[in-house]
Structures are given as C-alpha cells and as structure tokens.
Structure 1
Amino acid sequence: MPIEAVIFDVGNVLIEWQPERAYDRLIGEARRKEMFAELDMHDMNNDIDLGAPFKERIYQFAEENPKWRDEIRMWHDNWFDLASPAIDHSWRLLRALRAKGIPVFALSNFGVDNWPPAVKVYPVLGEFDREYVSGRMGHVKPFNRIYEMVEEDCQIEPDRLLFTDDRDENLVTARARGWKTHLFEGPQGWADRLVSEGLLTREEAA
C-alpha cells in the first residue's frame, strides 16, 4: 500500500533530547550521576508528557527533594539546554515531504506547556499538518491508546502510515497496529528509507 502520511517523533529525531548530557555541562558529570541515581527525573518528566503543568510539576518535585532543589529546577529553567540542538537534516526531510504534498504529522511525548515555546525556538515544529502531542492527549507512547487516537483523528489506514521514532519500544506498538515503522538512528538512514519508499528522490533527501 502507498504511504499516505509520514509521522515524526520529535525528541532525538528533529531535536536532540539528552538531559544527562546537558546536566553534565550544567553541574558536572559526577554530580549529575549522583543526582540521577537518587532521583527518577525521567519519571517526573513522564508526568509532564501526560499533561501535568510544566513549571509546577518540576518545582513541586524540587520542593519534595530539597537537596537537589536548584538542580531540579534547571529542568524547567534551562530546558532548552536539554532540548538541543536541532537535527538539521531531519528538518530538511520534513520540509521536502511537505513540498511534495505528503502530509506530515508529529507524534511526540511532549508537555502541553512547553510545546508552544518549543515551536518558537524550533519553527519546524509549527509546520506539521497534524500535531499529536501527548500532553494534550493525556496518553503517551508506547501505550496503545495514543496510536489508536491518531488513527481515529486522521482516518488513514494503519498500513498507509510511516512512523519514525528513536525508541524501538515506541515502534513495537505501531507495528502491531499495522503501521510501517523506521527506527531513527540518524537522519541519513531516515533519508534512505524515505527514498526507498518512493516518497523522495536522492536529491530531495539530501
């Protein structure tokens, strides 16, 4: 079946998302390792991806863990140190698809409050034909409901969707529903897949 829409994850596909690396720069690797060993920062962030208020959830967590209050608040105050830099080749691929009239969707675990400022800093996030942002939807990958909601909204048959994500666990559910998938390990591999699917030419995917 021909592909009718291409779906991009955001973190580590369009924008690098490496909190540990950012904290290594901000507070030093040794202190970061100690902090992340004591605290489940990613679980806190999962609450945000499910729709919890961005600043309030982080600052609440900081008050619950006063030893690390200042460092936890950096998750909010220095968020663009965590969510950077842009992956430029992926941006070009998204825009090349749209230039050919191929619908392009976002499907991302992302907070409802930090999505708008992210769009201002990274304009490509405002160029999707449809945005499926977990914080708005109240569901996250890799759980089945968020994929079901995408299908219900876009009304495209699952085998006509092509989805790329950097985490295979997020692709497993999609594949089980019949979606075509690509494990994102770098923009060149994604470019090659888009060419092999006949969506872009080599020149368009450069």
Structure 2
Amino acid sequence: MNIILASGNAGKLKEFSQAFADLGIALQPQPKTVAYEVAETGTTFIENAIIKARHASQLSGLPALADDSGLIVPVLQGQPGVRSARYAGDDASDQQNVDKLLIELAGSDVRSAHFYCCLVFMRHHLDPDPLIAKGLWHGEISTVASGEGGFGYDPVFFIPSLKCTAAELEPEQKKQLSHRGQAIRQLHPQLASLL
C-alpha cells in the first residue's frame, strides 16, 4: 500500500518506514512544494495532525500518515504546546526555543514536563474516522542543557529514572522510550488490522 507522509522530514520518513515495513507499506514523503504547506491552525496536537493528513491526502489522492508533537509544561499552562517548534517565534531555532523555555522557568521549582505525540492515519481525505494514536514521555526540564544527540528540547528534557537528558540517550534507547516510539507502537496493530 502506498501512503503519503504529511512531512518532508527525511528523519521521520526513515523512522516511520522502518516501523511499518512489516506491514507492506510504502511511505513516500510529501513533495516540498508550496501547495503541500498547510497552516497548523488547530489548538490541539490531534487537530493539527488531522489537518496535515487531510491536506496531504487530498492533494495526493493517497492515504496519509501525519504526526504532530511537542513539549507540554504544566506550570506554563501547557506551553510551548502546539507552538513548540515556534515557541520563540515563527523562524526560531531550536536553541532560541530552549533559551526562551529556560527563561520562562527561571526560579521555578516546579519543572515537570512531558513530550506528546499524536499520529493520524487517514484512508482518504474525507475519512470521518481516522486512526489516532498518541504517546507521552514524562520528565523534567533541567536548568542547563546537556548532551549532543537529538534535537529540539532534548538537551533540557531530563529523565529522572535514567539521570540524563534525552539528548544523552543512544538513538535506539530514545526510540524505545520516546513519545513518538510509543505512538508508533500504538498505531502499528491498528494499521495491521486495517490492512
């Protein structure tokens, strides 16, 4: 089955392709054209994932897989939330987003946080009942960045049980623990039964 991934991200394409390879799925990235860009106007990760999947499916005529994920910090009323990639501004770098987060949490003793991932599979763009899977990865926001791996907020996402940040984990270990890894494992049996 040919499925379009509502993203042009090569890393995501590789990860999802490997995760669903045993199901006979051929994932292709969406073209890097203006037509495939869509405004993420949802107020939740689920809404944004559905917007992206529906848009990619409508343009391609293929079933679509989309994800939306980010960091939730309860003491900041859920921020960065759906604006995680744009927390410090629409063109913000990972470092600028991390810097803003650390400034917002300066002096706070309450630093619990979790990464959230929502995966959506739509059979077609009018699908009224898309498959939805989600994963949560609990941790804390450290006061200083540590580690060279990962991306985004990984250098400040501290996992107390392992006494390290997400950026200090080996890629395979991160894949097992992460919010995206959890969502993939939740979606896999749903897709298998559908196919």
Asked if these proteins are the same fold (TM beyond 0.5), I'd say: no
Under a length normalisation based on structure 2, what TM-score does the superposition of the two structures give?
A: 0.36
Quick check: which has more Rg, 1 or 2?
Answer: 1
- Say which structure, 1 or 2, has more relative contact order (CA 8 Å, 6+ apart): 1
Q: Greater helix percent: which structure? A: 1
Q: Greater strand percent: which structure? A: 2
